[in-house]
Amino acid sequence: YNLSLGYYRSQDYSGSIQKGIKGLNLLASPNNHLDYYCFLLDILGTSYYEVGKYEKSLAYYFKLQKTLSEYRKNPRNYKGRFAAYDREFDEIWYGIADGGIARVDIQNKDYAKANHLLLQNLKTSQKYNLDDDRLSVFKRAGALQKESPEEALLGMLSKHIISIYDMVISQDDYD
C-alpha cells in the first residue's frame, strides 16, 4: 500500500498501478486487512483515472463498493488493524468510491449522475466532519459565499458545464 501511495504522490501513476496490483495480489483477500485493501482499490482507481483509463478506474471503484457490500453482509469474516470495522469506516469508504465514480462520470459528461454521487460524498464528509476529503473546497466556497456546500457544488458544477458547452459550441475560439 505505501509503495503504491508513494508512486501516486510523486505522480508516477504507472508505478503506482504496478505496485497497487502487486499489493492486492499479496493481500489476496480483503478479509485480513480490509483497510489496506480499500486503500489500494482507491489508489488504483485514482491512478487509472490520472492516466486516462477511465473504465479501469471505474472497475476499481465498483470493486471497492462490492467489497464493502460483502463486508456489510458478513462483518465477522474481517479482521485487521481495527478490532471491528464500524459503520463509519463503511460509509466513509462508500463516499470515497462515490467521489471516484463521479470523477469518471464528469469526464463522460454524465453530470446528473455525477451530481448525485458528489452530493452523497459531501453528505458523508459533513456527517463525519472530514477535513481531508475531496470536497473540502465546496465547504470552504460555501462558507465564503454564505451558502451551503451543496449550493457551492451546484454553482461550480453549473459554471463548468457552461464553460464546456461554450468550448464545444464555439470550438474555433479554443483551437
Q: Which of 71, 87, 60, 88 is nearest to 32 (CA)?
A: 71
Where the chain has pLDDT below 70, the residues are 1, 79-86, 129-145, 152, 155-175
The full DSSP string for the chain is -HHHHHHHHTT-HHHHHHHHHHHHHHH-STTT-HHHHHHHHHHHHHHHHHTT-HHHHHHHHHHHHHHHHHHHH-GGG--SSSSS--HHHHHHHHHHHHHHHHHHHHHTT-HHHHHHHHHHHHHHHHHTT-SSSTTHHHHHHHHHHTS-HHHHHHHHHHHHHHHHHHHHHTGGGG-
Mean pLDDT of all residues in the chain?
79
pLDDT of residue 54: 95
pLDDT of residue 52: 94
pLDDT of residue 130: 58
pLDDT digits (tens, 9 = 90+) for 40-73: 999 999 999 999 999 999 999 999 999 988 888 8
